[in-house]
Amino acid sequence: MRAVSSGEKIADFGNVKGNSLNDRYFAVNEIVTFLEQRGVAVLVLGGSQDLTVPVCGFFHKKEKRLNLAVVDAFIDFHPRNEDFSDSAFLNKLVADFGTKNIEDLNILGCQTYYCSDEQERFLTNNHFRLIRLKDLRDEKISSVEVLLRQAEVMSFDFSAIKGQPVLPEQNLMPNGFSEQEACRIFWYAGASDGLKVAGIFNFPLSYKDGSNQGPLAAQMCWHFLEGRGARSGDYPVRSYQDYELKVVYIDEFDATLKFYHNPENNRWWLMVPSEGGERVVSCEETDYQTAMDKELPALWWHFFIKGS
């Protein structure tokens, strides 16, 4: 395989082992925390998606609110099941952090027919965002860059890719992201200045027919490392006040919207209402165009309702 052009130094910490599942959770949390405190980006490979919970544990030690993006065809939350499992890890995550300590939780690539009304209400009631697969396919995949620019942790379920086996039955997913889109998502993750940890979970070692999925996972990792070399040093590394400020007043709502634009890479940010004040979130140029048409962008409404 060709070496990555980013020139990133790579260290393999090996397989995480333990005498019990709790041992492995503790070890994962300790390793991720140790590396994050030293400014080292972490790529977690393998294991089930419930490892997302110990991966996010470093936020507790920083006393910081969680920003998480989950790429998954399913909503891993059981309304009437409090057991901690791969398919209900969001139950544990919300219980551990509390909704007030989760700044952003976005589910990307969800397929509606796999989700119940109760699961969707859980997201809506907690002001978590659900972005369906249809809104991220083909040319819309660029929206993932905006969402990952805001996240600090990305949890990727391998079964979100079309044609991959879904554990435990190993049935193949008829729909999902293409292999190329999966690689592009990991490039965006690597290129995010704010993302600290990315994980590939529920990774199948082989199909029933014996074919190996290692090459695809390896290419996703390669794109993550390539993306690391394309970082722009954008917000939060750089102050958003260094960017072009574009102010839009919408008289119908008596609202003044502040957009920040980096002309060097055409990235956008929006000042949104937040509990106790305001904060800057990544946005798309279409949000600015919507405001120019005298409409409040859906993104602004989301944070306005969340902060109320």
pLDDT at 210: 47
Rounded distance between C-alpha atoms, residue 71 and residue 143, angstroms: 13
156 has pLDDT over 90 = yes
203 has pLDDT over 90 = no
Rounded distance between C-alpha atoms, residue 135 and residue 128, angstroms: 16
CB atoms within 10 A of CB 244: 10
CATH number (2.10.60.10, 3.40.50.10300, 3.40.800.10, 3.40.640.10) of 21-228 reads 3.40.800.10
Rounded distance between C-alpha atoms, residue 292 and residue 152, angstroms: 30
Which of the two residues, 246 and 168, has the higher pLDDT score? 246
79 has pLDDT over 50 = yes
**What are the residue ranges of CATH 3.40.800.10 in the chain?**
21-228
Mean pLDDT score of the chain: 91
pLDDT at 211: 55
* pLDDT tens figures, 249-290: 999 999 999 999 999 999 999 999 998 789 999 999 999 999
* pLDDT tens figures, 181-201: 999 999 999 999 999 999 999
Q: What is the pTM of this model?
A: 0.94
* pLDDT tens figures, 5-46: 777 888 999 999 888 989 999 999 999 999 999 999 999 999
Helices 179-191 + 143-150 axis angle, to 10: 40
pLDDT at 168: 62
What is the SS3 string spanning 47-116? CCHHHHHHHCCHHHHHCCCEEEEEECCCCCCCCCCCCCCHHHHHHHHHHHHCHHHEEEEEEEEECHHHCC
- Which residues make Cβ contacts (< 8 Å) with residue 226, sequence separation at least 6? 4, 5, 6, 187, 190
- Which residues make Cβ contacts (< 8 Å) with residue 135, sequence separation at least 6? 143
pLDDT at 302: 95
| One-letter amino acid of 44 | V
Which of the two residues, 61 and 297, has the higher pLDDT score? 297
pLDDT at 63: 78
